[in-house]
Structure 1
């Protein structure tokens, strides 16, 4: 049994760091969300900010873009060309994707400064990418509402998760301690 633990030590360390950091960040995020009453259709401030930033991007293409609180559910309605095209819910703010990104980077440890910098820059990049994703999705839904499932359920998640995956590949191959260990061999 001891030999098995020694043999799989790197994997077990990775798994432990990933699960621990993911659990801690998820608990922190959930405690933040618990401050808002979904039964009263309250939307957390970060999701509200994402909706406002999305409308700012949409206003570059149409000055009649705006948001409106949804009184029936905890979401923000997005209007493009004065037409209701989409809604922003808590799951649209990409914080759960950022938590997953951070947990993976922490699990594949690197030098402290590089790790913190990569997490900060990567998180900002994912956030900006998400704003662009929602804006493009809103424009696409305005023009092609019949493709909502394909656009929202397949294409746009594939883009954001694909880019997060590429960030992980860059992290593991260039900055993690694993990358330095394989370079010195």
Structure 2
């Protein structure tokens, strides 16, 4: 547990240091959140969804539009970095061989990022088609999806790859 909290705390400090370079009072959005918003728009456009993003003049966020209809704000919390930090801290807490640990973390974070882009795109489409379910979709269904995916990665790590796996390899 000490290893988990130590790694988690250090990574959160690094992330907060990164965020300090952006002025929320001036509605500046951190660079990674902009990347997430841009990639979400590109994914939607790839599937012939008329999507557009713009800077939000009233908040530190990026606005997502579908069919020129304002759907949602993509804020710092949508970029999944806090989830990636939690994921990495858990993997390191149950690590053994560093090479295997680093490879799993890198591919896990890339997987979480890609899944997050897909999640936001699907959420945007769902909000466009079913705006009456906004609270359930945004507050329950899609957070459950991302945390469920991370839980499955954790399980895979413990069951198959960590030194705690049944075969010990």
Q: Alpha-carbon deviations, 1:92-131, whole Å to 9, x = none?
A: 0000000000000000012111100000000000000000
- Structure 1 unmatched ranges of 5 or more: 1-14
CA distance in 1, matches of 2:96, 2:125: 39
The runs of 4+ residues in structure 1 deviating greater than 2 Å are 60-64
CA distance in 1, matches of 2:155, 2:96: 13
Matches within 5 A, 1:99-178: 99-178=85-164
- Out of 62-71 and 135-144, give the one that drifted further: 62-71
How far does residue 176 in structure 1 lie from its aligned partner after superposition? 1.0
More helix by share: 1
Q: Alpha-carbon deviations, 1:29-57, whole Å to 9, x = none?
A: 00000000000000000000000000001
Pairwise CA RMSD:
1.0
TM-score, normalised with respect to structure 2: 0.97
Greater C-alpha radius of gyration: 1
CA distance in 1, matches of 2:49, 2:33: 22
- Structure 2 unmatched ranges of 5 or more: none
One of 13, 16, 25 as aligned partner of 1:39: 25
Q: Alpha-carbon deviations, 1:20-79, whole Å to 9, x = none?
A: 000000000000000000000000000000000000011123453110110111000001
Distance 1:70 1:155, change over 3 A: same
TM-score, normalised with respect to structure 1: 0.88
CA distance in 2, matches of 1:68, 1:168: 35
